[in-house]
Amino acid sequence: MPEADFSLPVRVYYQDTDAGGVVYHATHLHFLERARYEWLRELGFTANSLIENHDALFMIRSLEIEYSKPATLDNLLSVTVKVTHVGRSRITLFQEILLENIKLVSATIHVVCVGVATLKPVSLPMPLREKIGNIK
């Protein structure tokens, strides 16, 4: 996979782990979500600005995740975001969770842009589409 568009450092805290000190499987989804949110912020958008200025929000349509190695308490992880496809209303992202460049988790996530009132697919806001186009 080509180099990521964005990377977020995430420290593993006690609250992220199970009784054995291993990151709970569902917690990885929180890390991936946090990286997507910060990636959008770096592009100049927030969830609130998308709602207020574009009457749009993002929902996960589907995701495929593979757990390769465990993360443990106090690890400093890198959570990456890479845009792999942009459609009319959908963005496909490839994300990884890495520990010192070793892949722990990989995920392909299909995010769909929906209208706030209808929750039905709408076109990606043009300013966001332009920003994504500049980094691809």
Of 125, 109, 117, 120, residue with least CA distance to 46: 125
Indicate the burial class of 2 (C-beta count within 10 angstroms; 0-12, 13-18, 19 or more). Answer: exposed
Query: DSSP characters for 116-136?
Result: TTT-SB-PPPHHHHHHHHHH-
Catalytic residue selected from 16, 18, 55, 74: 18
Catalytic, 18? Answer: yes
DSSP 8-state assignment for residue 22: B
Catalytic residue annotation: 18
